[in-house]
């Protein structure tokens, strides 16, 4: 039985990815910290799902996902979990800095490490949701940017490691996407969009999810170690 795993399935982008990949596997495991949000995502799907309330920064959370997988074969894994952290480094609480790196980088790395012990189908995929912040030097984003840059480079290097196992690893890097992730910055970012985004609109979760779907289901097996920015052209003019 083929299995797909969406980590962060209760979030805007994670939920959209689950919908874009609906019924592409025999079982989709929806993992995240909020049971209510996971159930909401599951209710919008037609394929068979299992919801797993799990914090991948903890060993018990990673174990819960592995237990749900059981002995089935992995077709794809989407790493869409993450937390934002904004503010000057000197003013950030050490606990918040640590949590950001644990959630955005260390947790995903340890989860992948655990899942690599499982069985994978040929031409399986790992897709990490990065950020255009990973390549931009922006004030008040040093920790968040650093965590996402680490995740992106981890995945590009991992692509070379697991290619002999016929596992592809790619990164999708969103720009400004209309999700609760933006928080209080949304108004300021809408102003930024008007001068820095050629398409002149905020992105949607579906914009990101369609690229994820392409990489998982349609991209040639030769596409691995790639990074695709979904940002309305913002990086091209930066």
What are the pLDDT digits (tens) for 128-170? 999 998 898 777 889 999 999 999 999 999 999 999 999 999 9
- Exposure string over 77-90, b if 16+ CB within 10 A, otherwise e: bbbbbbbbbeeeee
DSSP string, 141-167: -HHHHHHHHHHHHHHHHHHHHHGGGTE
- Distance of alpha carbon 235 from alpha carbon 232, whole angstroms: 8
Q: How far apart are CA 32 and CA 60, in angstroms?
A: 13
Q: Which of 48-57, 80-89, 171-180 has the lowest mean pLDDT?
A: 171-180
CATH assignment of 2-92+100-187+199-237, among 3.40.50.720, 4.10.780.10, 3.30.300.30, 3.30.70.360: 3.40.50.720
pLDDT on residue 112: 98
Predicted local confidence at residue 196, as pLDDT: 80
pLDDT, one tens digit per residue, over 17-56 is: 999 999 999 999 999 999 999 999 999 999 999 999 999 9
Domain boundaries along the sequence of the chain:
2-92+100-187+199-237
């Amino acid at each position: 039985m083929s299995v797909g795993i969406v980590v962060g399935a209760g979030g805007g982008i994670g939920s959209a990815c689950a919908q874009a990949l609906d019924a592409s596997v025999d079982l989709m495991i929806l993992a995240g910290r909020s049971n209510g949000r996971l159930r909401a995502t599951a209710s919008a799907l037609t394929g068979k799902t299992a919801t797993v309330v799990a914090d991948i920064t903890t060993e018990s959370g990673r174990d819960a996902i592995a237990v749900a997988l059981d002995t089935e074969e992995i077709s794809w894994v989407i790493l869409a979990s993450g937390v934002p952290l904004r503010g000057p480094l000197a003013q950030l609480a050490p606990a918040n800095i640590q949590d950001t790196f644990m959630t955005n980088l260390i947790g995903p790395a340890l989860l992948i490490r655990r899942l690599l012990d499982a069985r994978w189908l040929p031409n399986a995929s790992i897709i990490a949701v990065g950020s255009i912040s990973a390549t931009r030097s922006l004030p008040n984003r040093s920790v968040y940017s650093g965590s996402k840059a680490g995740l992106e480079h981890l995945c590009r290097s991992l692509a070379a490691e697991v290619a002999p196992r016929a596992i592809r690893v790619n990164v999708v890097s969103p720009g400004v996407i209309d999700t609760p992730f933006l928080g209080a910055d949304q108004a300021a970012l809408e102003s930024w969009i008007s001068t820095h985004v050629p398409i002149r609109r905020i992105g949607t979760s579906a914009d990101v999810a369609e690229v994820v779907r392409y990489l998982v289901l349609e991209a040639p097996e030769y596409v691995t170690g790639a990074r695709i920015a979904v940002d309305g052209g913002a990086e091209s003019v930066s």
